[in-house]
Structure 1
Amino acid sequence: MSGWVVGEVTKLTRWTDRTFSLCVDAEVEPFRAGQYNRLRLMVDGELVARPYSYVNPPGTRPLEFYLITVPGGPLSNRLIELAPGDTVELMPRSSGLFTLDAIPDAVDLWLLATGTGLGPFLSMLGTDEPWQRFGSIRLVHSVRHANELAYQETIAGFTLRDPERFRYVQMISREDRPGLLRARIPSALDDGQLEALAGLEIGADHSQVMICGSPDMVRDTQAVLRARGLQRLRRGMPGQVTVENYW
C-alpha cells in the first residue's frame, strides 16, 4: 500500500465548541495502540496534513480521532465541519513510538493526559495489554473546564472491567466544581494531592508513567518526577517516564 488512502467520515461528535471526535472508515495497515496517522484535506487549493493519534483500539473500525481546533489552524477548523459521507485522506501506514510495548513491565502504570492527549490512552486501555501486564492502572485527565471531560462512558467501561485495578482521576484547572480537583498535574503531583486521590504512590522501583499532552505539562511533570528519582526512558537506557507532546 502506498501513497494516501481515502476514508469516509461516518460520525463527528462535538464535545465542546472546540473539541470533537472524528470517525473515519478507511483501509489502513495494522497499527499499535498509541500510534498516530495523518489526516489530509485540500484547503484553499493546498493539501494540508496533520498527525492525530487513534482513539480506537487496533483491529477495530471505524478509525477514531480526538481533536481540538487551533485558532487560525487551516486543517482542524475544516475537519470540525465535516459530516458523514464526506471524505478525508489518511496515510496507509501509522507511525509513533508512544506505545506500551516500548516500556518495561512494572507493578503499576500511570497514564497522565491533558486535553486531547487522552486519545492514545483510550486506545491502549481498549486492548488487553495493560490489563495483563500491570497490577494497578491510573488514568489522569486534566482539562481547563469540566465540560471538556470527554469519553466518560468509555472510561466508565474500563472501571467496570476491573474496578480493583483501575481508577480514573479527573482534574480541572480554571473553575471550581464539587468533587473535582482544581489543579495542574505537576502541582498536584508535587503536593501529593494526585496520589492521594488515586490511592497509589508513584515510585521509581514500581511505576511506569506515560505522559501525553501540552508541552508545558509534559515538561513540568517530568521535572517533578525527576526530583523523585524517576528518569525518562530512552533507547538503551532504563527509565520510568515516557512522553508525547500532544495538543
Structure 2
Amino acid sequence: MSAEAPAGQTAAVKVNPNGPTEETVLAVEHYTDRLFRFRLTRPQSFRFRSGEFVMIGLPKEDGKPLLRAYSVASPSWDEELEFYSIKVPDGPLTSRLQSIKVGDKVLLGRKPTGTLVLDALTPGKRLYMFSTGTGFAPFASLVRDPDTYERYEQVIVTHTCRDVAELTYSRNLIDSLKDDPLVGELVGGKLALYTTTTREPYPNMGRITTLIENGKLFTDLGVPPLDPSTDRAMMCGSMEMIQDTKALMIKAGLTEGSNAAPAEFVIEKAFAG
C-alpha cells in the first residue's frame, strides 16, 4: 500500500465515479493477535447513520478492489471514520488489512447501510445492544451518539469474548465516555456495559444467551426480564449468537424490525472477514 498523502489529509481521491474512494490511515491500534482498530480520513460527502456498515478494503494485485462489509465504529458526527476488525491469518482481506500503518491507503465504499440504527426500532424505555467479538463495532458508534440517550432512559451494552484481553476495546471506549464533551453528561446513570468471557476466568462468564435464559444478566443489572412494552434490542456478532439471541427475543414477545417496518429488535447480517 502506498503512503503518498500526509496522515492529516481529509479529501478523498476518487477511484471512479461510482466506486470506492481512497482514504488515508490516521491511526492503528492492536489489542491482541486477533483484534485491532484503525481510523481513516472521512470524505466531506460521506454521510451515514450511527450503527450502519460500509464496504471497505484494499486493491487486489490485479487492481480490482477487494471489499468486505465493516460496521462504522465512530458516530455519525465524527470527522474521522473508525473501524474495529478481527485478524484472520488466511482471510483474503484481513490477512493484509492487519498490516496497515499510518499513511497507508484503504478503500471506502460510498453507500453505507444496515439495520442496527435507532430508526429501525419503535420507541421504548430500555435499549439492549448484544454483541460478541467485533460485533461491538456498531454499538461503539451508537453509544457515542447523543440521539441514543435522547430516545432511551437506559442503554445496556453486552460484550462477550473468549478472553479478557479481547474486551479491552469496549471497556476502554465506554470508560472514556464519561469525559466525552458531547455525551459525557448524558451517559451518567443511563449507560451500562456488561462484559463476559467464555474461556478465560472472569467475574462474569458464559454466553450471553445463557445469562439471558437463567436470568443472571437481569439480576446483575438490577432490571426486570425482557418486556416488549419497554425493551428494545440490537444484536451483532457470530451467526450462531445472533440466531440464538433472536430466538430468545421472540420467546420474550419481541418482534423483529427493519428500516421499512420498525419493531422491538433488529439484527445485522453483514460480517467482516
TM over 0.5, shorter chain: yes
Greater mean deviation of Cα atoms: 232-241 or 88-97? 232-241
- 1:74 is aligned to 92
- 1:43 deviation in Å? 3.1
Query: Which amino acid in 2 is paired with 1:152?
Result: R
Query: What displacement does 1:26 show?
Result: 3.3
Amino acid in the other structure paired with 1:153: N
Measure how far apart 1:127 and its partner are: 1.0
Comparing 218-227 with 10-19, which one deviates more in the overlay?
218-227
What's 1:168 paired with? 193
The answer for the alignment partner of 2:205 in structure 1 is 182
In the alignment, structure 2 segments of 5+ residues that lack a partner are: 1-16
Equivalent residues of 1:168, 1:198 under 8 A apart: no
Shift of 1:181: 1.1
Amino acid at match of 2:176: G
Match of 1:206 in 2: 230
For structure 1, which runs of at least 5 residues remain unmatched after alignment?
none
Q: Is the 8 A contact 1:30 1:59 kept in 2?
A: no
CA distance in 2, matches of 1:15, 1:219: 28
Give the deviation of 1:42 after TM superposition: 2.1
Question: Which protein is richer in strand relative to its size?
Answer: 1
Structure 2 vs 1, CA of residues 225 and 33 (structure 1 numbering), >3 Å: closer, same or farther?
same
Matching residue of 2:21: 5
Q: Give the Cα separation in 2 of the matches to 1:134 and 1:13.
A: 31
Q: CA deviation at 1:47?
A: 2.8
Distance in 1 separating the partners of 2:111 and 2:268? 19
Instruction: Kindly report the root-mean-square deviation, in angstroms, between the aligned alpha carbons of the 2 structures.
Output: 1.8
Q: Is the 8 A contact 2:131 2:160 kept in 1?
A: yes
In structure 2, the partner of 1:58 is 76
Question: Per the alignment, in what secondary structure is the counterpart of residue 181 of structure 1?
Answer: coil
Give me the identity figure in percent: 27
Q: Structure 1 residue 16: deviation in Å?
A: 0.6
Deviation at residue 71 of structure 1 after TM alignment: 4.0
Contact 1:19 1:67 in 2 (8 A): yes
Q: Which residue of 2 aligns with 1:148?
A: 166
- Give the C-alpha shift of residue 197 in structure 1: 1.7
The residue identity in structure 1 corresponding to 2:150 is Q
2:37 maps to amino acid: S
Give 3-state SS (helix, strand or coil) of 2:28's partner.
strand
In the TM superposition, what is the alpha-carbon distance from 1:99 to its structure 2 partner?
Answer: 0.7
Kept in 2: contact 1:43–1:75 (CA 8 A)? no
- Equivalences for 1:122-133 in 2 at 5 Å? 122-133=140-151
Q: Deviations over 1:182-228 (max 9, x none)?
A: 10011110000111122212211110011111110011111122222
- The residue number in structure 2 matching 1:31 is 48
CA separation in 1, counterparts of 2:134 and 2:231? 24
Aligned residues: 245
- Is contact 1:138-1:166 (8 Å) kept? yes
Deviation at 1:30, TM superposition (A): 1.1
| Structure 1 ranges of 4+ moved more than 3 A | 157-161, 234-239
